[in-house]
Chains A and B, each alone.
Chain A
Amino acid sequence: MEYQPVRFALPKGRFLSSTAEFLKEVGLSFSGYDAKTRQYCLESAEFPYLSAKVFQAKDIPVQVAVGNYDFGICGLDWIEELQTRYPASALVSVANLGYGDGNVCVAASEKLGLSRLDELPGGGAYRIVSEYPNLAEGMALDFRLGEFRIIPVWGAAEAYPPENADLAVLWHEGETELKAQRLVSLAELFPVMAYLIANRKSLENKDLSQILGRLSPRFVAREDTSRAAREFFRRDRTALKPVLTGWQAKEIKLALPDGHQHGPTTQLLERAGLNFRGYSGRRISRRPVSDLDWLGIKMIRPQDMPLQVANGNFDLAITGEDWLREHLSRFPSSPVEKLLGLGFGGVRIVVAISQDVPADNVDDLRSLVQEGKLAPIRVASEYVNLADKYLRDNRIDPYKLIPTWGASEAFLPDDADLLIDNTETGKTLEQHRLKVIDVLFRSSACLIGNKDSIIQLGKEEKIEFFLAAFRGAVLQ
């Protein structure tokens, strides 16, 4: 009997090892799917019609919902994140697979002195930071928090409370881990179990029985994720009192990057003669400490920095020009500006396409799209606003933007036609048989600041201190 091809979307990261183990146990292993893998496309060892691709867990529900993949395995957190906002999507959550890791909870700084969410005073305009903005909003509505603002971040949500957010909706491994961050869980939303998800049309039309037959003995009862109804009657309209920490007293708040830029930033600081304990060395902290008593420091994601500088949470930050430009494409009137180029972390932001596509520049590409040979063109990018602007400016239409969370090159050629991404040497692109057809700009690390805070009396001088120190370091 002939089977139609069946495609699986499998997770990188947290769930990779446990999912690989699980698939092996049920007799559905994919060669090359292990913690060391650098491969994205995998073949099934058992079924010739079955293949898989490895994605960031966050991308999997979307990929399955749009029908690029028949099945996916990922944590319940990202499934709920999609389904909370788009209950009518074609995503079917088939079954709990019985293994998991951690919980999603609503946490606050232990300094608030609260232990349950219903102890929160009413009438406050809560700032809620989260990697899961839809879940965070759903939580705020269910708990009837009234006025609230969601601060979506790429990561490091735990670094924000209490100064830069009142609540965080985040994944955590357990109480101990939260406690180490000086946070307390006010409500556990659900445990993050691995789920098998499927595309509705695939389930309705394709013969998936062999695969489901292997998986189904391991299905377990699903978790009850329905959040209990919350207090209906209004609480007193007393506002949440601001928590006073040493942070508020700091005149200058500086954000330093984690991830790839962490190493070079450490070297820069060293050359500038700045010693921040907890940023370099063995014990890394989200809150490094400086001898300068007027300086507050936090380590957050570079992607989140322009927004955090714009909203006044930080005065200065070290990020990439790419993320600054991405922010300014979305908010042209934002008060954030580049103060100084720092020279390291140089990349090109490029437009790349499969080597098999007969296009060598943007004009060729436009013709292909206009002739309907590549329309609508699917564009994968971490920089959705830059990509949007580029496509509009170059009159490439119609197009569909697929936001990604890293490893965007894996989307081509099956799940996207065009890539707008950063590249250092171009080697990864070449490995994926992609060619660069245009360069948006060159980007490297830079110091950014808030125009409004720079002109404030007292701050000006201290910001100048940093500029001088960094200028010296860049010249070395």
Chain B
Amino acid sequence: MLPGDMLRFRHVVDVFRNCCQRWGYREVRTPTLEYLHLFTSTGTLTPGMLRRVYSFLDWDGWSGERVVLKPDGTIPIARLYIDNLSDQEVARLFYVTNIFAFERTGREKRERWQYGTEFLGGTEFTADVEAILLARETMCQMGLGEVELQLSHAGLVKELVREFGLDSGEEARVLNCILEGDWSILEKMEGSNPWLDNLLNGLLNLKGRSSNFLQNIRAISREASPAFRSALDNFINITTSLDDLDCDYSIDVKAISGFEYYTGVCFQFLSGVNRVGGGGRYDDLIPLMGGKKVPACGFALYADPIMELLPGERGNGVERILVRGEELDAGVVNKCFALAKSLRGAGYTAELGFEERKEAGYRWVISISGEGPFVLEDCEGKQRLRVNSEEEVLAAISG
């Protein structure tokens, strides 16, 4: 990232950290290099994602043990929680991390940054609502314009597939396709009951804008299993709450892909066609990884598309001052360093220069020669001043 990119990156991180801290989340960091089996053994990433990890042999690789450049933000946080924080019933954590994925086209970024939160121990639907509102507030404060929120529900989708009564192998195949983003398989399936066809038609082809849509779905799925209806009720609770809190969204069950670990509501944020964030509930992840039965939900925002959407060079509000020595005489050099120190002490950003070249981008250029006074050039006001002491310099630039 170039200086301009880094300014935007830091701005985004600062906003994210401030928001998270105000909601009571605490920052954590996990290693960049992790054991591969952390990601394969839980069955929490799809084979498609696991094929694209950067993995290699560790220092003692003769055992076949491999390490991986972290391909996902949530699983390491879950491990961190299990190993260190599991005595806390509730843990609100956030992180800023880079994640790595293998190239597919030769044009993609291999390293991406994301900012995320994980709310461990949040049992009720209110935890999901909290994640959505926090993500939305963060993006709003970052200065992102219109962001669309799309909602789906992994539990509902899994129960929907189960309604078809397939054998376990076929059911797995259908769910795999869906996780890899291929919904056509479900569209082609014909239910044994007309109500299932109607339900599919409603869920796959319509996009609800309020909880009323889900209430309508509930009305046409009276014959569905209790598990399906329970997942639907959970979804209704979340959307009703979002309605009451004036949070706009659309319900699109297809707005889910990739992560096998989601069990409840899933959401993604879009700015135009760009996916800028996503998250959801993953109640089974911690127990699958050997921890207690701790429900959890979280979200991640994707730095790269967000930075693309933010306005160009974002100033950091710092006025740059150049202290320039006209000669390399020891007295001049000392005077320059001393003045720069005083300026920095007074809260300014002071750079030193001893070369003869035209400088640009400074608010002030202060020239120092052997015996002479300090010559201040006001680059904005286009005027020159001559003063005799550091105090007078500080007084002049503070206006």
Chain A residues in the interface with B (C-beta under 8 A) = 84-85, 87-88, 125, 127, 137-138, 140-142, 144-151, 228-234, 306-307, 310-311, 327, 330-331, 333-334
Contacts and interface: CB of A to CB of B under 8 A. Distances in A.
A61 to B, nearest CB: 17
Contacts of A85: 51
A141 B40 contact: yes
Interface residues of B, number: 29
B103 A88 contact: yes
Contacts of B62: 306-307, 310-311, 327, 331, 334
23 contacts: A84-B51, A88-B104, A125-B37, A137-B51, A138-B47, A141-B47, A142-B47, A146-B37, A146-B41, A147-B41, A148-B40, A149-B63, A149-B64, A149-B66, A151-B64, A231-B172, A232-B168, A234-B43, A234-B288, A310-B63, A311-B63, A330-B61, A331-B62
Contacts of B176: 229, 232
Interface of B: 37, 40-43, 47, 50-51, 59-66, 103-106, 168-169, 171-173, 175-177, 288
Given A232-B171, A333-B60, A88 B106 contact: yes
Given A146-B37, A311-B64, A333-B60, 9 more contacts: A137-B51, A145-B40, A228-B169, A231-B172, A232-B175, A307-B62, A331-B61, A333-B59, A334-B62
Contacts of A151: 64
Contacts of B288: 234
Nearest first, the 4 closest Cβ-Cβ pairs linking A and B are: A232-B172, A149-B64, A310-B62, A229-B173
Contacts of A127: 64
Contacts of A137: 51
Nearest to B108: A88
Contacts of A125: 37
Contacts of B64: 127, 149-151, 311
Contacts of B106: 88
Nearest to A128: B64
B324 to A, nearest CB: 40
A234 B43 CA distance: 8
A72 B314 CA distance: 53
A311 B172 CA distance: 36
A343 B199 CA distance: 78
Contacts of B37: 125, 146-148
A75 B43 CA distance: 32
B51 A141 contact: yes
Contacts of A310: 62-63
Most A CB atoms within 10 A — which of B51, B59, B104? B51
Contacts of B66: 149-150
A232 B261 CA distance: 12
A311 B62 CA distance: 6
Given A231-B168, A234-B288, A311-B63, A144 B43 contact: yes
Nearest to A231: B172
A288 B374 CA distance: 91
A258 to B, nearest CB: 21
Contacts of B172: 229-233
Contacts of B105: 88
A66 to B, nearest CB: 14
Contacts of B168: 231-233
Nearest to B38: A147
Contacts of B47: 138, 141-142, 144
B63 to A, nearest CB: 5
Contact of B65 (A88, A144, A149, A330): A149
Contacts of A146: 37, 40-43
A322 to B, nearest CB: 17
B184 to A, nearest CB: 15
A200 to B, nearest CB: 12
Contact of A141 (B50, B104, B169): B50
A455 to B, nearest CB: 18
Contacts of B41: 146-147
A417 to B, nearest CB: 25
A151 B60 CA distance: 13
A145 B37 CA distance: 10
Nearest to B260: A232
A234 B289 CA distance: 12
Contacts of A228: 169, 173
Nearest to A331: B62
Nearest to B176: A229
Nearest to B180: A229
A461 B61 CA distance: 29
Contacts of A330: 61
A220 B50 CA distance: 32
A473 B103 CA distance: 55
A151 B63 CA distance: 8
